Amino acid sequence: MSQTGNTHRPKVIVTRKLPDSIETRMAELFDVTLNLKDIPFSAEQLKAAAAEADVLVPTVTDTIDEGVIAAAGDRLKLIANFGAGVDHIDVSAAQAKGVAVTNTPGVLTEDTADLTMALLLSVPRRLFEGEKILRAGKWTGWTPTFLMGHRIEGKRLGIIGMGRIGQAVARRAKAFNMSVHYHKRTRLPAQTEAELEATYWEDLDQMLARMDIVSVNCPLTEDTNRLLDRARLKKLQPHAVIINTARGEIIDEEALADLIEVGRIAGAGLDVFAEEPQINPKLLELENVVLLPHMGSATIEARVGMGEKVLINIRAFTDGHRPPDRVIPG
């Protein structure tokens, strides 16, 4: 680790390696400890960091549970998360202890939507199957029936969760002449629905039974944990494809693998997994499943933008103002 010292500035501890420009600015503004080796903190290291810091900057790889927050003592005042999702942080325990939590929404929307569309195209068109065959030297030349997939034009896309990312996916799908459908706890305003040409389904089960492709774009909460369990997955049509760029825990991976293996679901494109970085072995064995290493926001623009939001939130908070991206327990 690397540390810059100035006791008159807030003590900030960053748990993972961030873009160089962000780390440099943090060193200019704060008494910061950086994780230059980029090795994830253990639970004990997180507790030690919480006890030492005025501001803790974790990422999705850090579990900031009640135990970590309890270890903070009275010094920790802000958890400035590097990321939009905060399911790895016990926000309620933080609030009860008087610790504010912020996140970085908005800046990763377009990149995650782009990756969602990349998966949405690659699974029906069998792109990764073809790439593997080519690299293995097994391609013998063009034939009329080789690796036939499905076009996405005119297909029904069911989006679970219609926040920033879901709407960005809907705009892209509309450009591909797909029929956009969605399920959300609260229905979108009529004007937004009209702009997206999106059909609302109050009943998720009814929507799932009618879709060609399902995209998971909702946050992970107590209500969405295993939202797509075995019973719900069975409601999909055999030709349907699932795309998940949200959180792995939203889908019962074991059930998904089983149903794809026997042909009850056509395939899947997954960027997130329930036990990251471990991957369910059954998923690894399936040819019609595209697996990516949680890279939905992995663009230079998004990661720098996330870091800039962290800086703004810390500066606002330490200057006595309400940080713009404060998370309120729901």
**The pLDDT of residue 54:** 97
> What percent of the chain shows pLDDT beyond 70?
97
Residue 213 has pLDDT above 60, yes or no: yes
Catalytic residue among 25, 294, 315, 326: 294
**Domain 109-291 class, CATH top level:** alpha beta
The whole-number pLDDT of residue 166 equals 98
Residue 110 known to be catalytic: no
The residue-averaged pLDDT of 180-202 equals 98
DSSP H helices, the chain, are 20-29, 43-52, 66-70, 91-96, 109-125, 127-135, 164-175, 190-196, 204-208, 230-233, 253-261, 281-284, 300-318
Instruction: Quickly count: other Cβ atoms within 10 Å of residue 225's Cβ.
Output: 13
**Catalytic residue from among 150, 276, 308, 326:** 276
Active site residue 285: no
Rounded to whole angstroms, the Cα distance separating 38 from 55 reads: 19
Active-site position among 247, 249, 253, 303:
247
Asked if residue 330 has pLDDT above 90, the reply is: no
Tens of pLDDT, residues 45-75: 999 999 999 999 999 999 999 999 999 989 9
Query: For the chain, where do the domains classified as CATH 3.40.50.720 start and end?
Result: 2-107+299-318, 109-291
Distance CA 21, CA 31 (A): 16
Residues 152-166: tens digit of each pLDDT? 999 999 999 999 999
Reported as a single tens digit per residue, the pLDDT across 23-51 is 999 999 999 999 999 999 999 999 999 99
Cis bond before residue 10 (omega within 30° of 0): no
Q: Using a pLDDT cut of 90, give the percent of the chain over it.
A: 96
Q: Considering the chain, what is the average pLDDT of its residues? A: 96
Averaged over 141-161, what is the pLDDT? 97
92 in the Ramachandran plot: left (φ > 0), alpha (ψ -120 to 50) or beta? Answer: alpha
Q: Is the pLDDT of residue 308 over 90?
A: yes
Q: Which DSSP category does 268 fall into?
A: E
Residue 6 has what pLDDT? 47
Cβ distance 211 to 156 under 8 Å?
A: yes
Q: Is the pLDDT of residue 209 over 60?
A: yes
User: What's phi and psi for 33, nearest 5 deg?
Assistant: -110, 120
- 44 belongs to the catalytic site: no
4 pLDDT more than 70:
no
Q: Could you tell me whether strands 55-57 and 78-80 are parallel, antiparallel, or unpaired per DSSP bridges?
A: parallel
Quick check: 214 pLDDT over 50? Answer: yes
Q: Say if strands 31-34 and 55-57 run parallel, antiparallel, or are unpaired.
A: unpaired
* CATH 3.40.50.720 corresponds to the domain 2-107+299-318: yes
